[in-house]
Amino acid sequence: MSTFTPTARTQVKRLPKRGAYDRETVFRILDEAFVCHVGFVADGQPYVIPTNFGRSGETLYLHGSAASRMLRTLSEGVPVCVTVTLTDGLVLARSAFHHSVNYRSVVVLGTARLVEDAAEKMEALRLFTEHIMKGRWEEIRWPTEQELKATTVLALPLEEVSAKVRTGGPIDDEEDYSLPVWAGVVPLPVVPAEPIRDARLGAGTEIPRYMRAYRRG
């Protein structure tokens, strides 16, 4: 199927016209974002933790230290909510009430599983690296067996998923359009700056081509 089936938990109820359930929209948002927020409950206390992630097809991967409370809790089958948000612009209206933000967001609900297969675990770590900088994995030293043991990887199936998107300019009350106030959108693109060399980088080590050509989105 080309779309996710909305459920009672993922159906966008507030401004439903902004809801999107097609895989193309969801995957594009996930593949452009760097950080997700992971929500769960441990010992009756809600937590929302920011972390990096990677995607392979219909699976979202999370990773971190084997000592991580979040990962240990989620590996026990605790329900999880993962959210991703991209901020595309500031929407400045003529009234305070109608100021807004152009954004693209995704909500994923489900239960994560612990990745124990060594090959899948290594592939997930490759995904994390390539998600940050495509082309990087083939240049760097890969994780050792000890580093793999020190790292926990979880897989979250993309089943209960929805996206929500706002685009366009401000929507003011009709009587406010005559106000002498600037209105419109301030775009907030992600623009990479010149890479900064590590202080201990060997002389003559050039910036890789894939890094110079880097663009996000």
Q: Mean pLDDT score of the chain, rounded to an integer?
A: 94
Local structure of 113: helix, strand or coil: strand
Q: State pLDDT tens for residues 189-206.
A: 998 999 999 999 999 899
Q: State pLDDT tens for residues 7-21.
A: 999 898 888 899 899
Q: Where are the chain's structural domains? A: 16-171+181-212
C-alpha span between 138 and 45 (Å, rounded): 41
Q: What is the pLDDT of residue 16?
A: 87
Q: How many CA atoms lie within 13 A of 78 on its CB side?
A: 21
One-letter amino acid at 136 equals R
**Confidence band, pLDDT 50/70/90 cuts, at residue 216:** confident
Which helix (DSSP H) or strand (DSSP E) does residue 37 occupy? Answer: strand 35-42
The DSSP letter of residue 17 is G
Q: What is the pLDDT of residue 140?
A: 96
pTM: 0.92
Supply the CATH classification number for the domain 16-171+181-212: 2.30.110.10
The DSSP letter of residue 204 is T
